[in-house]
């Protein structure tokens, strides 16, 4: 054993979490690149929409009720300015409908128009077809594995939120 061997940190939970963060960042980036190159061109959109725009559209599509912009950015974890800018554009293009919120004049309820629902459904179908493609040589994860990973990631997210609140009280 050399002196340099002591320079390597032992794997701890916090180092493992940092590794997970790096991996998630890389997977997220690769996922966005894949969708940009394969799915978005198939949608024949009137303007150059982004994966983030379609993430917002999909959030509205999967919601059982109308959402405010605040609801959308909390569910998507996107920056509030991004949600505002994207929803404004999609309202102008007729994909999203906005209805006044009588209990809060600063917000509006957002729902999908008929063309917005069609676009969201098409987007989901194209994503599903991509990931169920015979071209992929890896098998899809089992539902229980996905659920276990989701629970672990939510736990990690909660830990980060708690640490943020403790360390950055404002």
Whether the per-residue pLDDT at 59 is higher than 90: the answer is: yes
pLDDT value at position 129? Answer: 87
pLDDT value at position 11? Answer: 60
Residue 8's pLDDT band (cuts 50, 70, 90): low
The tens digit of pLDDT for each residue in 130-154 reads 888 776 656 677 889 888 888 888 8
Domains in the chain with CATH codes? 29-164 (1.10.10.10)
Find the range with the poorest average confidence among 1-10, 54-63, 84-93, 161-170: 1-10
| C-beta separation of 112 from 95 below 8 A | yes
Report percent pLDDT > 90 for the chain. Answer: 48
pLDDT value at position 9? Answer: 57
Residue 35's pLDDT band (cuts 50, 70, 90): very high
């Amino acid at each position: 054993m050399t002196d340099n061997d002591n320079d390597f940190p032992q794997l701890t939970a916090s180092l493992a979490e940092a590794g997970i963060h790096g991996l998630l960042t890389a997977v997220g980036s690769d996922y966005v690149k894949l969708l940009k190159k394969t799915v978005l061109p198939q949608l024949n959109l009137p303007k150059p929409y982004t994966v983030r725009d379609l993430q917002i559209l999909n959030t509205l599509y999967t919601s059982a009720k109308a959402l405010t912009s605040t609801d959308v950015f909390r569910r998507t974890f996107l920056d509030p300015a991004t949600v505002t800018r994207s929803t404004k554009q999609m309202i102008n293009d007729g994909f999203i409908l906005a209805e006044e919120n009588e209990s809060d004049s600063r917000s509006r309820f957002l729902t999908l128009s008929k063309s917005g629902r069609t676009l969201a459904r098409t987007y989901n179908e194209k994503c599903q077809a991509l990931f169920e493609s015979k071209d992929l040589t890896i098998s899809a994860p089992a539902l229980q594995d996905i659920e276990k990973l989701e629970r672990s990631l939510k736990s990690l997210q909660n830990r980060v939120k708690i640490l943020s609140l403790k360390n950055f009280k404002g």
